[in-house]
Structure 1
């Protein structure tokens, strides 16, 4: 009995370290948004790539992104782990993995957005360049015959202008894939989609979270908030972190025990 108690205590400490590490990553990600300044690039007023209209009515607003990429995977994993399998250990591993995938993606996304400072397709609409000739001249630099302007020419809302400098890469896309791709891996493991029986129905069921994530990513192109490369890289980052987080706690999908979380922690 004493041995069991000591083992349980060691296990709790081990998982507490996991959660503390995830919290550390989350705090770091949030600090990056304020402590790493966004790169301020000069721009051209005749650049067609940043002259799209500013669509403020997003297909998938931020609150809905949170519901679809965080709440939905968490609730469905809880339903499978506790409602169907009645396995608290599985639920805990799934929650740890999902949290790690999302937080790691947040950190990478925030850091990249601020350090790259790529202009959004709607940057000029956010900037609202002044028509005053004196203001334009004061913010003008001519390099190689090309007219480059600074933010001094802008008359728009400073917060909107700053947000207009965070196109690369798409946070909506990276976060949606971080949450929904993790759930797709989780569901694929529970359904044994790669057990060499070729059951298409199981594969399709495990695939739908990825389709939803793809819809969210494509909506950013539809709304002209991002360029195609922003969405592509966001997708790769989200899938990459989801796979990494999943494999920390579960076997590969081709493993006969892919539906079981790793249990030999200590």
Structure 2
């Protein structure tokens, strides 16, 4: 019995961040914030999932509980367990639970840090505001990481993954979240990301182009010049 089921892990890693994006976006009346938060999160989750699945099928490392899944028969000299259970027992590396939890929760932590400058210590905090307490902002921004770490640890406790599986899975989730976040949001570690004009605001990815009329001068081609000279 898993301490944190796969369905619960996926739901929390997806809907907890999105709920916060929607809540803050409604308060700030910013559809741009909601859009960039949601699409960035989905990109992080998708990238982490892709890398994890490819590695699982490529490496084929045995889970710690593989023998229990296999139910080896000494007479038949083969596994007598359920086929799907045995196949899943060869998908230990990397941990899918860990990559899922960290891709969602680390993205949320980055977003919270980007809203409060909690991870950029050179930025002066706004006065008389919840953001004015750097300790509070920093603690709130790392709360999602506690849950992701808890999920990773339970996979070892449940005897479903090795330590290396969990570490690599967590790294995949963190890297995917960081890459996806930087595509849609300013760097939460850079002081330039917290200017008064763009404080906590998503990147502007597209700008409206201006269509201008051009006066195009047509020139005669080589063959047309030759024909004109003959005439």
1:155 aligns with 2:80: yes
- Post-superposition offset of 1:264: 4.9
Q: Is the 8 A contact 2:184 2:205 kept in 1?
A: no
Aligned to 2:59: 116
Task: From the CA coordinates, give the structure whose radius of gyration is larger.
Answer: 2
Q: Secondary structure at the match of 2:73?
A: coil
Aligned equivalents of 1:80, 1:186: Cα separation in 2: 11
Q: How does 1:119-158 map to 2 (within 5 A)?
A: 119-132=62-75, 135-136=76-77, 153-158=78-83
1:95 aligns with 2:38: yes
1:186 aligns with 2:111: yes
Aligned equivalents of 2:146, 2:165: Cα separation in 1: 18
Q: Is the 8 A contact 1:185 1:246 kept in 2?
A: yes
Aligned equivalents of 2:88, 2:199: Cα separation in 1: 42
Aligned equivalents of 1:170, 1:190: Cα separation in 2: 30
- Post-superposition offset of 1:131: 2.5
Q: Is the 8 A contact 1:118 1:165 kept in 2?
A: yes
Q: Is the 8 A contact 1:251 1:258 kept in 2?
A: no
Q: Is the 8 A contact 1:182 1:242 kept in 2?
A: yes
Deviations 1:136-183 (A, max 9, x none): 3xxxxxxxxxxxxxxxx1010111000000000000000111111101
Aligned equivalents of 1:265, 1:195: Cα separation in 2: 30
Aligned equivalents of 1:173, 1:110: Cα separation in 2: 13
Q: How does 1:216-255 map to 2 (within 5 A)?
A: 216-253=151-188, 254=190, 255=193
Aligned to 1:166: 91
- Post-superposition offset of 1:66: 1.6
Aligned to 1:69: 13
- Post-superposition offset of 1:262: 0.9
Aligned equivalents of 2:113, 2:29: Cα separation in 1: 18
Deviations 1:14-46 (A, max 9, x none): xxxxxxxxxxxxxxxxxxxxxxxxxxxxxxxxx
Aligned to 2:202: 261
Aligned equivalents of 1:73, 1:172: Cα separation in 2: 17
Aligned equivalents of 1:233, 1:78: Cα separation in 2: 31
Aligned equivalents of 1:212, 1:258: Cα separation in 2: 27
Instruction: Give the root-mean-square deviation of aligned CA atoms.
Output: 1.3
- Post-superposition offset of 1:251: 0.6
**Runs of 5+ unmatched residues, structure 2:** 125-132, 208-231
Q: Is the 8 A contact 2:21 2:33 kept in 1?
A: no
Aligned equivalents of 1:258, 1:251: Cα separation in 2: 9
Aligned to 1:85: 28
Aligned equivalents of 2:60, 2:202: Cα separation in 1: 40
Q: Is the 8 A contact 1:90 1:261 kept in 2?
A: yes
